[in-house]
Amino acid sequence: MKNPTLVVAGMATLAAGTYAFRLSGQLLRARITFPPRAARLLEAAAVILLAALVATTALTEGHGFSGFARPAGVLVAGVLAWRKAPFLVVVIAAAAVTALLRLAGVP
């Protein structure tokens, strides 16, 4: 860690800004009444963001492809989750499949 002061400043910025995001959505909502359809769309919007987060964290590393092992593990987890497997089974399967593929030499 080269510059501790700057790192602390970065951590404080991230913490304060994140809290502001968490608060501002609620404050906006308290001032505006949403019709039920808009409320459902907002819930769907959160699901879309999370799905995009799954896709990017599963398939990319920096600006490139993450390799096959990680998305394969996440795919197995997705199939298990779709078939209503217990949560822990889903998560451990993702790690296990990825680890085994890497052990077998898959990037």
Partner 1 sequence: MRSIWRTLDHRPLADIGLACLAVFFIGLSYGAIAVASGFPLWVPAVQSVLVLAGASEFLFVGIVAAGGSPIAAALAGLLVNSRHLPYGLALPPGVTGRRWGRLLGTHVMNDESVVFALAQPDLERKRAAYWACGLGVLACWPGGAVIGALIGSAVHDTSAFGLDAMFPAVILALIVKDLRNPRTLRAALAGAAIALAAAPFLPAGLPVLLALPAVLLLVRESAVTPQADRQPVVAQAGSTP
Q: Which of residues 76-95 bind partner 1 (CB under 8 A)?
A: 77-78, 81-82, 86-88, 90-91, 93-95
Q: Are strands 64-65 and 60-61 parallel, antiparallel or unpaired?
A: antiparallel
- The answer to whether 48 contacts partner 1 (rule: CB under 8 A) is yes
- The answer to whether 47 contacts partner 1 (rule: CB under 8 A) is yes
Burial of 59 (0-12, 13-18, 19+ CB in 10 A): middle
Q: How far is the CB of 25 from partner 1 (least distance, A)?
A: 2
- The answer to whether 96 contacts partner 1 (rule: CB under 8 A) is yes
Site for partner 1 in 23-42 (CB under 8 A): 23-30, 34, 36-37, 39-42
Q: How far is the CB of 84 from partner 1 (least distance, A)?
A: 9
**Alpha carbon of 18 to those of 6, 33, 36, 41, 49: distances in Å?**
18, 24, 27, 23, 16
Q: How far is the CB of 86 from partner 1 (least distance, A)?
A: 7
**Alpha carbon of 67 to those of 59, 61, 95, 98: distances in Å?**
7, 8, 14, 10
Q: How far is the CB of 35 from partner 1 (least distance, A)?
A: 11
